[in-house]
């Protein structure tokens, strides 16, 4: 497998950034290229675009088909639950009429879940390659965890962790 | 498979210091929310925000002339990036001034005391009565600014996507926090969010196709792949189309523009001013970089497409603005039309086009933020007087504010001796030099149509009898006054002596890759 | 195993997501459709990573997951606020802003 | 091409010419109410100071040999991008000099007159501020040394004119007229801005010096395009066909404005532009021909409209169009005409300003009524106004030795040098001028009083009549002075070039024919409006109905042959002007409005429809890219 440009992989194949300045249009720009060639060679451009066309039609057609079929065949029951915030699960509020404080516990819990969920996505690969990543990898992960801790601390101080 | 030795990426921390400072301050500012007492929060946050913007600006200025690619090619600090950074930081500073304003609204703030409180509820009334102020806007603001800074310096599609979201997500929230007219504000936040997420999905899918085409997400890498591959498959074309859609959404190009009027109208004027100026700059910065660096080699492919979009954008923006009755909506359509004009600089695809676009963006940013500062000052009993009819006769009842607003309108209309004229002239000349004569003729026609509605506001302010319920101009604190003075000064000075800025952007007319 | 089938699948998922945004009324569902589009992009990224023989695409997928999660947080916050105000999550209902 | 001389001595103050009125405008417009009491006098003072400075510079120029009379002063580099450079720089030469004098001297007189005319207006401080702004912008226009700076002045005078036409904001018609003027002028501005860009692309510079030096390098097609675009610009600013419609409505502004801006100075900016660009027109024959045609059409159009209007100011406005048509026409003739275009511009500036101020003086005495059908028999009550008006009258119809005679006669002569057909046309138009001007004085000063009740005509105060007297003196003697003593031809020749071609018949013959035709026109006018009583109610309805009622307004059988067709055409044309051109403009506005409302409907407020439009946009983008690829 080839290298990646990102830090988790060994270095030898990491791309070197080309150091020259470049700008399009400085030279040769005024010749609006009728003669500009894409070096298409023997490839018939129409054929190249046939797959894309088929792909597009297939994808869009299938998506449209499944939704239309669902509308045609599925039972139609329009009721309150259909337009509720959550189609299933617990009704999120006790709905104090005329306003009032809103228990956002579920929402805060979701937020907590996301914080730790995301943490893992990055921690696993890091842990696997931990011994090769040297100090830089450690510091980077430490910074990442610190940043992750900040919203956690914020939630805690704001009372988001207290379940009355 | 990880058998090689790991070489940490070389990161030029000094070069990317502005991003780090703003991002770090944003994190700090979240901690301030957590630990500092309620009364002290606002001053602490303001010091943090203004201080960090100034320090970041110092770093930008101190390394003028730096041209480097860092962080394994993910971030590029070149002329355009530095110019855009400077512009974004200064305009954010002015935007922060508008958001910090507390004297205009009799109830004390432009933001809802608690964004989560139900509009019209007893809770909300109590929060307001107690004089609680919203300070959570400041971390959001800083995160958004750091996203913008990253967006214009991102040299690969992944970082660009992340920056796009870091820039946008806080703005979705800020749009929904108006103290007055909360229903409108929340609705605008919802629309902005759903459509913004929709567009970023297009961006991402486009990026994935380009990755499939070139095997890399770095912009120069894509350019290399384009020049290396003899047959450029459908992946490239489709990927480019979807990627560009995501960016065109952010600049407000037709037909991806429809969120603009709704969001500009619904969001608090301070946020709208900030957003209108800075998001446009950041998004055009990214669009320019993508088009010039990654797709520069196939410009014959995308130029006709942008022709279509630019013409649609200029005309739809200008024409629909004619019939608007709300000043914020009118300015939203005006911003759409202005996007069309700036696209001329993109289409020119030349060094002149790039520097002209940069100048235009800066001129537009100051004019717009100033115009929204005026809007936030013109009030009626129910809050801001955004209905155009309430503005009738304003030029006579408040001559100074009327004149200042007229200057902004004239600048947006491109009348000489204002920054708008030099800016328009620049992009038109760049496009003509690149051979897009017909496009420029279309643009000139569109700019005439656009002049109608700008002049209409002036006519309304000066030549109409005051409305039955005339708007009054509230006396602002130093914050708004500074923002307004800066806006009008830059607009006039750039019209009379644009030379220093022109030289600056002329020195920044190449993308490093 | 032909990897282009995965690309086809991701295109189908993306289209379903896009059409879902166009036809569904419930803000949450619309939002989920957008998430579906992001995940379609993710699938496409990992497939291309396989086809191109480098890992960039997989790394991108990680980041996209994070960003998508952040988007969920923001999105839910906005939608819940609107829902509480209007007692409905229909996106057709809030249209005070138009023309 | 003469050398550009550095600005030394008195010429180092060129910038001050503009800065003085500009400073006045700034003080007056931003000074607020505390300047109410002395503000108007400050306005008069700044313009007068500029006038004095202008005279000093004229003396300075006269001191120098002819080839050293082009002075350039560069303040700073204004825009400098890539290879493009435009300076904030002024060029004072023989051509700019005469404009500076016209603008500042006539401007100063009109400022003085306004002291009296606007004495009772609560906003007169602002009025003087706008007037000062106008003078500054107009001076910038004629002193600029490059086209970009001309454009700045061009927009500036447009803005000032817009503000002044709409000055009486309470009148909705005034606001509408202001908007109309602004919009039509924008069309002309497009011409100028495109011309500037084309010049930049072709010559790499927009300064007069560079452009005129390198005209030979450009193809004739490019030069023709530039010439036509400049003509479009000139037509917009100078109210020439087909962009003439705004000038009549512009008469909603206060009369001093009509005199200064819409008769003497701003509307002649188009003539200035064309004469200034003579190097381009000399090399582009077709563009020059287009200029002649536009001028000729407008000469007649203006004259005929002038014959049909009952509103004294609108009638004068028609006459202005017609006279500027003469100038544009002359400018299109090439080197045989440039000098006379400017000569006529100068004499016209003076006598038309006098006529407008005279009309203002009449209105002042008639409670601001503008309807000539409610005037009559004023000659005994307003002696000074009457006499000065007569001087202007004799000047405009071209009776020797009044100034208009000399300048118009030269243009007619130049026309015959080119082509007998256009020469005859200009003589005919001179006849119509005789007709409508006679009609005007007959209806205003002679006949029986047809005043509205409660009107007590009286002579205006001295502050108004003194400018009238000065302008009347100018109307009388200026033509002779410029021609015989000022040597206008050799004065302007270094800038504009001058040539003369032989005519088949002796000069005296053309002069004689012209005079005879003018007198015939005047006599017809006198018989129709001076001898017969003028009905108070204007004839009404379409020209067909009016033709059916011709007994009612008592046209004699003997003038049916001449007057009736011309009156009918006049009414038709003025109808066309109202319905046709306006209809065209309004039609476009209606279409745009309809389109706007249709597009606006698409903004339904529904997220899903927005998303749908985005998906549609995706298809557009993909399709556009694929189409390019398929080719």
Cβ-Cβ contacts under 8 Å, B158 against chain C = 56, 59-60, 63
Terminal C-alpha separation, chain C: 52
Give the chain D residue whose CA is nearest to the CA of C18: D615
pLDDT of residue B400 exceeding 50: yes
Other Cβ atoms closer than 10 A to D221:
10
Evaluate whether residue B397 is within a structural domain.
yes
Q: Say how far apart CA D192 and CA D148 lie, in whole Å.
A: 9
Residue B434 at interface with chain A, using a CB cutoff of 8 Å: yes
What does the pLDDT look like over D523-545, one tens digit per residue? 888 887 777 777 766 655 444 33
- Mark residue C53 as left, alpha or beta (left: phi above 0; alpha: psi -120 to 50; beta: remaining): left
Residue D626 at interface with chain A, using a CB cutoff of 8 Å: yes
Mean per-residue pLDDT for A55-82? 74
Contacts of D596 (CB under 8 A, 6+ apart): B319, B320, B322, B323
Contact A64 C83 (CB under 8 A): no
Contacts of D598 (CB under 8 A, 6+ apart): none
Minimal C-alpha gap between D617 and chain C (Å) = 13
pLDDT of res. B231: 67
pLDDT of residue A158 exceeding 70: yes
Cβ-Cβ contacts under 8 Å, A45 against chain D = 629-630
**Which of A14, A36, A48 faces B300 most closely, judged by CB atoms?**
A36
User: Among the listed ranges A31-45, B332-346, D447-461, which one has the minimum average pLDDT value?
Assistant: A31-45
Contacts of D469 (CB under 8 A, 6+ apart): D384, D388
**Which of D600, D601, D615 faces C22 most closely, judged by CB atoms?**
D615
| Cβ contact D376:D448 at 8 Å | yes
Mean per-residue pLDDT for D41-45? 86
User: Among the listed ranges B330-344, D125-139, D171-185, D333-347, which one has the minimum average pLDDT value?
Assistant: D171-185
Residue B116: both structure tokens together: 């989560």
CB contacts under 8 A, B 438-497 vs A, are none
pLDDT of res. D507: 80
Mutation site for B-interface testing, chosen from A2, A20, A23 by largest number of B Cβ within 10 Å: A23
Cβ-Cβ contacts under 8 Å, B188 against chain C = 97
pLDDT of res. A93: 52
- Beta-ladder partners of B218: B156
Contact D612 C22 (CB under 8 A): yes
pLDDT of residue D565 exceeding 50: no
Evaluate whether residue A145 is within a structural domain.
yes
Evaluate whether residue B104 is within a structural domain.
yes
Contact D604 C98 (CB under 8 A): yes
CB pairs under 8 A between A and D: 6
Evaluate whether residue A107 is within a structural domain.
yes
- pTM assigned to the model: 0.78
Evaluate whether residue A52 is within a structural domain.
no
Residue B300 at interface with chain A, using a CB cutoff of 8 Å: yes
Helix or strand (DSSP H, E) at D81:
strand D71-81
Give the chain B residue whose CA is nearest to the CA of C96: B184
Evaluate whether residue B4 is within a structural domain.
no
Mean per-residue pLDDT for D85-107? 86
DSSP A104: -
Mutation site for D-interface testing, chosen from A34, A45, A54, A55 by largest number of D Cβ within 10 Å: A45
Cβ-Cβ contacts under 8 Å, B238 against chain A = 52
Evaluate whether residue B511 is within a structural domain.
no
Q: Which of A52-56, B373-377, D4-8 has the highest mean pLDDT?
A: B373-377
> How many domains are contained in chain B?
1
């745009």: which residue's tokens?
D592
What does the pLDDT look like over B328-365, one tens digit per residue? 999 999 999 999 999 999 999 888 899 999 999 999 99
What does the pLDDT look like over B425-442, one tens digit per residue? 889 888 888 888 889 888
Q: Say how far apart CA B33 and CA B143 lie, in whole Å.
A: 14
pLDDT of res. A23: 37
Evaluate whether residue B12 is within a structural domain.
no
| Cβ contact D395:D405 at 8 Å | yes
pLDDT of res. B175: 92
**Which of B194, B305, B426 faces D625 most closely, judged by CB atoms?**
B305
Give the chain A residue whose CA is nearest to the CA of C77: A107
Neighbouring subunits of D (3+ Cβ pairs under 8 A): A, B, C
Q: Say how far apart CA B33 and CA B27 lie, in whole Å.
A: 10
pLDDT of res. D527: 82
The enclosing domain of A124 has a CATH number of 1.20.58.1610
Contact C71 B182 (CB under 8 A): no
Evaluate whether residue A32 is within a structural domain.
yes
* Reported confidence tier of residue B221, pLDDT bands at 50, 70, 90: very high
- Averaged pLDDT of chain B: 88
Contacts of D129 (CB under 8 A, 6+ apart): D24, D25, D27, D28, D29, D39, D43
Evaluate whether residue B317 is within a structural domain.
yes
Neighbouring subunits of A (3+ Cβ pairs under 8 A): B, C, D
| Residues above pLDDT 70, as percent of chain D | 89
pLDDT of res. B331: 93
pLDDT of res. A72: 78
Residue B429 at interface with chain D, using a CB cutoff of 8 Å: yes
* Reported confidence tier of residue B233, pLDDT bands at 50, 70, 90: confident
pLDDT of res. D256: 82
Residue B9: both structure tokens together: 């990426």
Q: Which of A55-64, D77-86, D160-169 has the highest mean pLDDT?
A: D160-169
pLDDT of res. A27: 38
Residue B169 at interface with chain C, using a CB cutoff of 8 Å: yes
For residue A16, the enclosing domain spans 11-42
Alpha helices in chain A (DSSP H): 45-73, 105-128, 134-157
For residue B68, the enclosing domain spans 17-506
Evaluate whether residue B7 is within a structural domain.
no
Question: What is the DSSP annotation of C23-46?
Answer: H--BHHHHHHHHHHHHHHHHHHHH
pLDDT of res. B271: 93
Contact B434 A29 (CB under 8 A): yes
Residue A7 at interface with chain C, using a CB cutoff of 8 Å: no
Minimal C-alpha gap between C32 and chain B (Å) = 10
Residue D360: both structure tokens together: 């203002």
Q: Say how far apart CA D495 and CA D212 lie, in whole Å.
A: 11
CB pairs under 8 A between A and C: 91
Closest to D410 in 3D by CA, of D549, D514, D287: D514
Contact B194 C31 (CB under 8 A): yes
**Which of B183, B193, B208 faces C78 most closely, judged by CB atoms?**
B193
* Reported confidence tier of residue D83, pLDDT bands at 50, 70, 90: low
Residue D366: both structure tokens together: 């008639």
Mean per-residue pLDDT for B370-386? 86
> How many domains are contained in chain A?
2
Give the chain D residue whose CA is nearest to the CA of A26: D82
User: Among the listed ranges D179-188, D380-389, D576-585, which one has the minimum average pLDDT value?
Assistant: D576-585
Mean per-residue pLDDT for D453-468? 81
Contact B416 D80 (CB under 8 A): no
Question: What is the DSSP annotation of D230-273?
Answer: HHHHHHHHTT-TTS-HHHHHGGGS-HHHHHIIIIISGGGHHHHH
**Which of B158, B190, B261 faces C82 most closely, judged by CB atoms?**
B190
Mutation site for A-interface testing, chosen from B4, B132, B357 by largest number of A Cβ within 10 Å: B4
Mutation site for D-interface testing, chosen from B231, B243, B320 by largest number of D Cβ within 10 Å: B320
pLDDT of residue A41 exceeding 50: no
Mean per-residue pLDDT for B225-252? 87
What does the pLDDT look like over D314-348, one tens digit per residue? 888 888 888 999 999 988 888 888 888 888 988 99
3-state secondary structure of D483: helix
* Reported confidence tier of residue A100, pLDDT bands at 50, 70, 90: very low
Evaluate whether residue B79 is within a structural domain.
yes
Residue C80 at interface with chain A, using a CB cutoff of 8 Å: yes
Minimal C-alpha gap between B88 and chain C (Å) = 23
What does the pLDDT look like over D406-420, one tens digit per residue? 888 888 888 888 888
Contact B300 A6 (CB under 8 A): no
Evaluate whether residue A26 is within a structural domain.
yes
Minimal C-alpha gap between A70 and chain B (Å) = 23
Contact B193 C75 (CB under 8 A): yes
Residue B233 at interface with chain C, using a CB cutoff of 8 Å: no
What does the pLDDT look like over A131-145, one tens digit per residue? 888 888 889 899 988
Evaluate whether residue A130 is within a structural domain.
yes
What does the pLDDT look like over B198-217, one tens digit per residue? 999 999 999 999 999 898 99
């Amino acid at each position: 497998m080839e290298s990646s440009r990102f830090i988790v992989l060994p270095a030898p194949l990491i791309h070197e950034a080309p150091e020259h300045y470049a700008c399009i249009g400085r030279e040769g720009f005024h010749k609006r290229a009728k003669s500009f060639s894409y070096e298409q060679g023997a490839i018939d451009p129409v054929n190249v675009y046939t797959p894309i066309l088929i792909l597009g039609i297939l994808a869009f057609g299938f998506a449209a088909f499944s939704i239309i079929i669902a509308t045609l065949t599925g039972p139609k029951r329009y009721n309150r639950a259909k337009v509720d915030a959550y189609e299933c699960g617990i009704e999120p509020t006790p709905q104090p009429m005329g306003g009032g404080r809103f228990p956002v516990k579920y929402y805060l819990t979701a937020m907590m879940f996301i914080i730790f969920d995301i943490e893992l996505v990055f921690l696993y690969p890091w842990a696997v390659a931990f011994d090769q990543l040297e100090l830089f990898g450690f510091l980077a992960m430490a910074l990442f965890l610190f940043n992750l801790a900040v919203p956690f601390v914020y939630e805690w101080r704001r009372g988001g962790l207290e379940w009355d | 498979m990880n058998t090689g030795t790991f070489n940490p990426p070389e990161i030029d921390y000094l070069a990317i210091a502005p991003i780090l400072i703003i991002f770090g301050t944003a994190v700090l500012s979240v901690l301030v929310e957590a630990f500092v007492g309620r009364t002290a929060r606002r001053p602490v946050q303001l010091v943090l925000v203004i201080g960090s913007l100034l320090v970041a600006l110092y770093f930008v200025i101190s390394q003028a002339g730096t041209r480097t690619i860092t962080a394994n090619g993910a971030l590029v600090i070149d002329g355009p990036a530095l110019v855009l950074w400077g512009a974004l930081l200064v305009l954010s500073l002015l935007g922060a001034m508008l958001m910090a304003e507390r004297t205009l609204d009799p109830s004390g703030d432009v933001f809802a005391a608690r964004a989560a409180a139900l509009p019209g509820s007893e809770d909300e009334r109590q929060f307001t009565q107690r004089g609680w102020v919203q300070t959570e806007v400041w971390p959001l603001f800083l995160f958004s600014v750091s996203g913008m800074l990253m967006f214009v310096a991102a040299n690969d599609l992944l970082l660009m996507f992340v920056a796009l979201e870091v820039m946008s997500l806080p703005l979705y929230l800020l749009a929904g926090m108006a103290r007055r007219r909360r229903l409108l504000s929340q609705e605008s936040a919802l629309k902005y969010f759903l459509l913004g997420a929709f567009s970023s999905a297009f961006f991402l899918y486009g990026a994935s196709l380009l990755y499939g085409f070139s095997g890399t997400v770095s912009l120069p890498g894509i350019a290399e792949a384009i020049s290396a591959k003899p047959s450029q498959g459908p992946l490239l074309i489709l990927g480019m189309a979807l990627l560009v859609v995501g960016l065109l959404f952010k600049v407000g190009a037709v037909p991806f523009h429809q969120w603009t009027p709704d969001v500009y109208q619904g969001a608090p004027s301070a946020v709208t001013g900030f957003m209108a100026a800075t998001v446009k700059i950041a998004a055009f910065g990214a669009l320019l970089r993508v088009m010039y660096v990654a797709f520069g080699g196939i410009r014959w492919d995308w130029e006709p497409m942008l022709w279509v979009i630019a013409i649609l954008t200029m005309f739809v923006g200008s024409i629909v603005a004619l019939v608007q009755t709300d000043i914020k909506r009118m300015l939203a359509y005006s911003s759409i039309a202005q996007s069309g004009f700036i696209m001329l600089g993109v289409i020119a695809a030349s060094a002149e086009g790039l520097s002209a676009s940069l100048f235009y963006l800066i001129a537009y940013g100051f004019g717009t933020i100033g115009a929204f500062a005026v809007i936030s000052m013109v009030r009626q009993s129910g809050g801001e007087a955004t209905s155009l009819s309430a503005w009738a006769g304003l030029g006579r009842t408040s001559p100074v504010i009327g004149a200042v607003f007229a200057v902004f309108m004239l600048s947006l209309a491109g009348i000489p001796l204002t920054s708008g004229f030099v800016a328009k002239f620049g992009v038109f000349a760049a496009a003509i030099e690149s051979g897009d004569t017909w496009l420029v003729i279309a643009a000139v026609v569109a700019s005439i149509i656009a002049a109608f509605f700008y002049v209409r506001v002036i006519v309304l302010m000066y030549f109409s009898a005051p409305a039955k319920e005339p708007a009054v101009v509230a006396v602002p604190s130093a914050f708004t006054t500074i923002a307004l003075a800066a806006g009008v000064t830059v607009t006039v000075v750039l019209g009379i002596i644009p030379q220093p800025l022109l030289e600056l952007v002329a020195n920044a007319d190449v993308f490093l890759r | 195993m032909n990897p282009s089938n995965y690309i086809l699948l991701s295109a189908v998922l993306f289209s379903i997501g896009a059409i879902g945004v166009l036809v569904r009324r419930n803000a949450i569902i619309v939002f989920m459709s957008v998430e579906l589009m992001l995940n379609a992009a993710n699938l496409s990224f990992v497939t291309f990573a396989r086809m191109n023989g480098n890992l960039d695409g997989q790394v991108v997928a990680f980041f996209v997951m994070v960003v998508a999660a952040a988007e969920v947080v923001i999105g839910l916050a906005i939608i819940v606020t609107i829902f509480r105000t209007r007692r409905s999550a229909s996106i057709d209902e809030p249209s005070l802003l138009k023309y | 091409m003469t050398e550009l001389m550095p600005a030394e001595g008195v010429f180092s103050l060129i910038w001050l010419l503009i800065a003085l009125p500009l400073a006045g405008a700034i003080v007056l417009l931003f000074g607020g109410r505390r300047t109410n009491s002395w503000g108007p006098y400050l306005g008069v003072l700044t313009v007068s100071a500029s006038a004095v400075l202008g005279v000093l510079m004229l003396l300075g120029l006269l001191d120098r040999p002819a080839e050293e009379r082009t002075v350039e002063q560069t303040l700073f580099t204004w825009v400098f991008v890539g290879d493009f450079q435009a300076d904030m720089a002024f060029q004072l030469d023989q051509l700019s000099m005469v404009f500076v004098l016209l603008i500042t001297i006539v401007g100063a007189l009109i400022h003085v007159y306004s002291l009296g005319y606007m004495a009772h207006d609560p906003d007169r401080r602002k009025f003087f501020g706008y007037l000062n702004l106008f003078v500054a912008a107009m001076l910038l226009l004629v002193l600029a040394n490059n086209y970009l700076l001309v454009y700045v002045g061009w927009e500036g005078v447009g803005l000032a004119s817009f503000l002044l036409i709409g000055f009486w904001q309470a009148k909705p018609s005034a606001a509408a007229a202001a908007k109309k003027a602004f919009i039509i002028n924008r069309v002309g501005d497009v011409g100028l801005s495109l011309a500037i860009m084309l010049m930049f692309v072709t010559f790499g510079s927009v300064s007069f010096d560079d452009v005129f030096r390198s005209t030979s390098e450009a193809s004739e097609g490019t030069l023709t395009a530039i010439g036509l675009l400049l003509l479009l610009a000139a037509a917009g600013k100078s109210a020439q066909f087909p962009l003439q419609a705004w000038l009549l409505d512009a008469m909603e502004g206060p009369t001093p404005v009509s005199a200064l801006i819409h008769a003497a100075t701003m509307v002649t900016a188009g003539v200035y532009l064309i004469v200034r660009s003579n190097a381009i027109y000399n090399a582009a024959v077709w563009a020059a021909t287009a200029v002649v045609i536009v001028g000729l059409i407008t000469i007649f159009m203006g004259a005929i409209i002038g014959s049909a209007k009952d509103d004294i100011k609108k009638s004068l406005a028609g006459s202005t169009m017609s006279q500027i048509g003469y100038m544009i026409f002359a400018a299109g003739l090439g080197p045989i005409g440039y000098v006379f275009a400017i000569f006529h511009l100068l004499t016209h500036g003076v006598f038309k300003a006098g006529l407008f101020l005279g009309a203002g003086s009449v209105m002042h005495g008639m409670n601001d009524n503008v309807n000539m059908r409610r005037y009559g028999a004023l000659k005994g009550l307003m002696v000074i106004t009457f006499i000065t008006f007569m001087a202007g009258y004799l000047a405009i119809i071209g009776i020797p030795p009044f100034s208009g005679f000399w300048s118009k006669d030269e243009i007619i002569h130049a026309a015959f040098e080119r082509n007998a057909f256009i020469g005859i046309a200009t003589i005919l138009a001179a006849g119509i001028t005789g007709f409508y001007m006679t009609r005007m004085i007959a209806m205003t000063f002679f006949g029986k009083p047809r005043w509205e009740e409660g009107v007590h005509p009286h002579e205006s105060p001295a502050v108004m009549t003194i400018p009238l007297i000065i302008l009347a003196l100018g109307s009388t003697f200026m033509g002779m002075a410029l021609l015989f003593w000022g040597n206008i031809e050799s004065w302007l020749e270094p800038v504009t070039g001058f040539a003369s071609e032989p005519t088949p018949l002796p000069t005296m013959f053309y002069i004689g024919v012209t005079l005879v035709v003018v007198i015939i026109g005047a006599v017809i006018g006198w018989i129709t409006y001076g001898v017969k009583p003028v009905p108070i109610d204007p004839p009404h309805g379409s020209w067909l109905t009016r033709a059916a009622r011709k007994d009612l307004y008592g046209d004699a059988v003997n003038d049916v042959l001449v007057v009736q067709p011309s009156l009918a055409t006049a009414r038709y044309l003025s109808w066309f002007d109202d319905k046709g051109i306006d209809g065209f403009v309004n039609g476009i506005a209606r279409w745009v409005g309809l389109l706007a409302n249709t597009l606006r409907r698409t903004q339904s407020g529904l997220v899903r429809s927005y998303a749908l439009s985005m998906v549609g946009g995706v298809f557009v983008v993909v399709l556009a890219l694929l189409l390019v690829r398929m080719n």
